Amino acid sequence: MRILAALGLRDATNREYVMAGHSKWANIQHRKGKQDAKRGKAFTRLIKEITVAAKLGDSDPASNPRLRLAMEKAYDQNMPKDNVERAIKRGSGELEGVDYIELRYEGYGINGAAVMVDCMTDNKTRTVADVRHALTKFGGNLGTDGSVSFLFKHCGQMVFAPGTDENALMEVALDAGAEDIINNEDGSLEVITAPNDFVEVKQRLETAGFKPEMAEVTMKAENEVSFTGDDAVRMQKLLDALEDLDDVQEVYTNAVIEE
Nearest to 104 by CA among 136, 133, 127, 138: 127
The reported pLDDT for the residue numbered 186 is 85
Q: Which residue intervals of 144-221 are DSSP H helices?
A: 166-176, 198-207
Which pTM value belongs to this model?
Answer: 0.80
Specify the pLDDT at position 18: 41
Strands 225-227 and 255-257: parallel
Q: Could you tell me where in the chain the CATH 3.30.70.980 domains are found?
A: 2-31+150-221, 101-149+224-257
Cβ-proximal residues to 244 (8 Å cutoff; 6+ apart), any chain? none
Nearest to 192 by CA among 176, 208, 207: 176
Q: How far apart are CA 214 and CA 251, in angstroms?
A: 16
Torsional sign, CA 103, 48, 67, 189: positive
Residues of the chain with pLDDT below 50 are 1-21
Which bin fits 177, alpha (ψ -120 to 50), beta or left (φ > 0)? left
Half-sphere exposure of 93 (CA within 13 A, CB side): 4
Euclidean distance between CA atoms 95 and 133, whole angstroms? 34
Closest CA to 35 of 185, 213, 254, 183: 213
Fold of 38-92: Arc Repressor Mutant, subunit A (1.10.10)
- Residue 17 — left, alpha, or beta (φ > 0 → left; ψ -120 to 50 → alpha)? beta
The alpha helices in the chain, defined as continuous H runs, are 2-7, 24-37, 39-56, 65-76, 81-92, 124-137, 166-176, 198-207, 229-243
Q: Considering Cα of 133, then 134, then 139, then 142, what sign does the dihedral take? A: negative
Are 192 and 154 contacting, i.e. CB atoms less than 8 angstroms apart?
no
Among 3.30.70.980, 3.40.50.300, 3.30.530.20, 3.40.50.970, what is the CATH number of 2-31+150-221?
A: 3.30.70.980
Residue 119, classed as helix, strand or coil, is strand
Query: Which homologous superfamily is 101-149+224-257 in?
Result: YebC, transcriptional regulation domain (3.30.70.980)
Confidence (pLDDT) at 7: 32
Residues of the chain with CATH 1.10.10.200: 38-92
Alpha-carbon distance of 235 to 240, in angstroms, equals 9
- Residue 41's pLDDT is 79
**Residue 76 confidence (pLDDT):** 85
Q: Write down the pLDDT at residue 16.
A: 40
* Best CA proximity match to 106, nearest among 153, 136, 155, 148: 148
